[in-house]
Chains A and B, each alone.
Chain A
Amino acid sequence: MSRQITAWLQAAPMALVMVGFLVAPIVMIVIVSFWGATEYSIYPAFQFDNYQFLFGSPVTYAVFLNTFKYAAITWALTLLIGFTVAYFLAFEVRTLKWQIALFLLCTIPFWTSNIIRMISWIPFLGRNGLANSTLISWGVIDEPLEWLLFSDFSVILAFVHLYTLFMVVPIFNSMMRIDRALIEAARDNGASAAQTLRHVIIPLCKPGIMIGTIFVTTLVMGDFITVRFMSGSQRANVGRLISNDISLLQYPSASATAVVLLCTVLIVIALLLRLVDIRKEL
C-alpha cells in the first residue's frame, strides 16, 4: 500500500504539469469550440454552429489544402537537404572534432529569433532587392522577378530555411549509430556507393527520417507567422485562419478550427507512425 502511495507521489509532479499545461488548455479549447458568438460577445452554449460553418465553407477546404501543400513541399525539400547535410557530417567528415564543430555551425542561425531570420529575406528577395538587382546586372533577366517575394516561393523558402535543422539532427543521430563495419561489409559484398546508400544507410536512417518528418510537418502545419510575413498576407493556411478569428475576437470559431487542425495533425502522425517503428530510437 505504502509503495503504491510512493509511486503516485513520484508520478504526481509530472502529471500535474501535464494536466495543467497540456490537458486543461486542450479541454478548454474543445469546450469553447461549442460556444456561440455574436459580433460583440461570446456566450456559453453547446451547439455545432462553428463546426457547421467551418465544414460548410469552401474557404476551409482551400486553406487546409494549401496547408498540406506547404507541409508536403517543405517536407520534401528539408528531407533532401537535411539528409545530404547529415550524410556529409556523419560519413564524409572523418574526425569527431570536425563533426562537432560543423554541427555547431549549423545551429548558429538558431541563436537569432525566427522572425529576424524571416525578415532578413525580405531585402534580399524584394522587387529591388539583392537577388533581382544581381540577376539584372548579370543580364539573366530584364525585368525584376515578381514571384521572389510575397509568394508561395518565399513562404516555402523561409520554411525550409527555418526547419531544415529539425531534419538534420535526428537523421544525423541515426547515422552516427550505424556501425561503420556495416558500410565495409556492404563494400566487401560488392555494393557500390549508391547501393550502400539505398540498401544499408537509408533503411537504417528510417527512424531518424520519421522523427524529422514529424517535427517538420507539425511545425509547418501549425505555423501562421511565417505565412503572414513571407506572403505579405496574400496566402493563407490554417494557422492564419485561426489567428484572424482571434484578432476579430471570434474565439469559438477559432477554437473549432484549432480542434480540427489538431485532429488532422494527430491523424497524420498516427499514419506516419504506422510506417516506421521509432520506439527503439527514443
Chain B
Amino acid sequence: MTKNADLELVALTKRYSGTVAVDAIAHHFKAGVYACLLGPSGCGKSSTLRMIAGHETVSDGSILLGGKDVSHLPPAKRGTAMMFQSYALFPHLSVRDNVGFSLRMAGTDKVTRDRRADEMLELVEMTALADRKPDQLSGGQQQRVALARALITRPQVLLLDEPLSALDPFLRIRMRAELKRLQRELGISFIHVTHGQDEALALADEIIVMNDARIEQAGPARDVFNAPKTAFVARFMGGHNVLDLPQGKVALRSDQMIVMPAKAGRVDGRITGVEYQGTHVALTAQIAGSQDVTALIPEAQFFETPKAPGEVIGLGWDDIAAHPLAS
C-alpha cells in the first residue's frame, strides 16, 4: 500500500449532550499498521472507532484518510469498513449473500458478486458453508463471514469493534492469530478496539491506550508495556508495580523485582502471599506506607530459598528497570 492510506485524527472530539466522550484526540496511523485502541469501558475508544467509521457524527476536529478529509462522508464513501462487535450478519441472507451485500447495493450483477463473494470466502476459509444462514454457524464462523463482508469492499482501513469478545477463550486465541495473518497478507491498516491488554500486546504493532476520553500513551506495543508513562497505563497493562517512592512515582515490572534478605535491598517488606503459578511464583509483600508489591520469581529460583508469609524480605531492582511516572 502507498503512503496515501495514512489515517490521521486531528483534535477529534465527540460530545453527547453535556458529556465529552472523546476529547480532542490526535493520532497518526501509518498505512498498513495493526493498531489497537485499548482502554477500560467508557474511555471513548468505541466512540473514536465509530467516528472513524462514520456511524457517529464528529462534534469537532477531523479525520483524514490519505490526506482527504472524510469526517462528513457517509460510511461507504470513506474507504473504511467496519466489523461489528456482534458481527451484525443479516439473518435472512445466506453467507454468500451476506458477503456480497455491498456489491448488490452498488448494483453489481449476480454472477460477478457471487464470484467475488466466493473469493472472499476462500480467503477466510468458509467456502464450504457459503449456502448456510448465519444462525447455522458457530461464533468463530460468523466472525469469518463478517470479516469477509467487510473486506469485500476493498477498504484501506478495517475497523474492528471488540471482534473477539463474543468468542470463548480458546477460539479467541485462534482467531487472533488469524486476524494477524490476514492483516499481514492484505497489507491494509487494521484498527482494533479492545479492553484486553493481552489481546492488544499479542496483535498490535502500535497500542493507543485511552482513558477518560483522552489518549494516555501511544507507541509500539513493547514500548508501551516496558515504559509506561502514567500510573494508569502501568496498572492497566498489568505486570507492573506502581510505587510511591521519595523520588516520585515509579513503575516497576514485577518480574524485574529482585528478592534478597532483609535490609539488603532498597526497601523491606513483609510477605503477605505466596502464589504458585507454574512457571513462576508470585510473592506479594507489603512495604512502608502499606503499599503492595508483587515480585514474580522463576519457580526454580524460589524453591532454592523458599519463603513463607510473615517473613520479612528485602526488595531490589536495577535503576534501568524503574520508570518514573507523570503525576
Contact = CB atoms under 8 A, between A and B. Distances in A.
Q: A and B: real partners? A: yes
A69 B81 CA distance: 49
Given A181-B86, A184-B55, A190 B91 contact: no
A185 B88 contact: yes
Chain B interface mostly: loop
A188 B105 contact: no
Interface of A: 179, 181-182, 184-192, 195, 199-200, 203-204
Contacts of A188: 53-55, 75-76, 81-82, 150
Interface in B44-81: 53-55, 74-76, 81
A181 B84 CA distance: 7
A188 B84 CA distance: 10
B104 interface: yes
Contacts of A181: 84-86, 88
A45 B289 CA distance: 103
B320 interface: no
A179 B76 contact: no
Contact of A190 (B89, B102, B150): B102
Interface string B127-157: 0000000000000000000000110010000
B90 interface: yes
9 contacts: A179-B86, A181-B84, A184-B84, A185-B82, A185-B90, A186-B101, A189-B101, A190-B76, A204-B92
A182 B153 contact: no
Given A184-B55, A189-B153, A199-B101, 20 more contacts: A179-B88, A181-B85, A182-B88, A184-B82, A184-B84, A185-B90, A187-B76, A188-B53, A188-B81, A189-B102, A189-B149, A190-B102, A190-B105, A190-B153, A191-B101, A191-B102, A191-B105, A199-B104, A199-B105, A204-B91
B111 interface: no
A101 to B, nearest CB: 20
A187 B153 contact: no
A182 B92 CA distance: 11
A8 B19 CA distance: 61
Contacts of A179: 86, 88
A41 B213 CA distance: 87
Contacts of B85: 181
Contacts of B102: 189-191
Contacts of B53: 188
B73 to A, nearest CB: 12
A97 B166 CA distance: 30
Interface residues of B, number: 24
A192 B153 CA distance: 16
Nearest to B102: A189
B76 A184 contact: no
A185 B91 CA distance: 12
A199 to B, nearest CB: 7
Contacts, number: 58
Interface of B: 53-55, 74-76, 81-82, 84-86, 88-92, 101-102, 104-106, 149-150, 153
A190 B106 contact: yes
A8 B54 CA distance: 59
Nearest to A200: B90
A185 B55 CA distance: 9
For the complex of A and B, the 4 pairs showing the least CB-CB separation, nearest first, are: A190-B76, A189-B102, A181-B88, A185-B88
A224 to B, nearest CB: 39
A61 B30 CA distance: 76
A189 B89 CA distance: 12
B96 to A, nearest CB: 14
Contacts of B101: 186, 189, 191, 199
Nearest to A181: B88
B74 A187 contact: yes
A187 B75 contact: yes
B284 to A, nearest CB: 43
Contacts of A195: 105
Contacts of B75: 184, 187-188, 190
Nearest to B86: A181
A193 to B, nearest CB: 11
Contacts of A182: 88, 90
A91 to B, nearest CB: 15
Contacts of A200: 90
A186 B86 CA distance: 14
Nearest to B55: A184
Contacts of B84: 181, 184-185
A189 B91 CA distance: 16
A199 B53 CA distance: 22
Contacts of B54: 188
Q: Which of B54, B90, B102 has the most CB of A within 10 A?
A: B90
Contacts of B74: 187
A281 to B, nearest CB: 13
Contacts of A204: 91-92
Contacts of B55: 184, 187-188
Contacts of A191: 101-102, 105
A204 B89 CA distance: 12
A106 to B, nearest CB: 27
A189 B90 CA distance: 12
B239 to A, nearest CB: 34
B76 to A, nearest CB: 3
Nearest to A195: B105
Contacts of A187: 55, 74-76
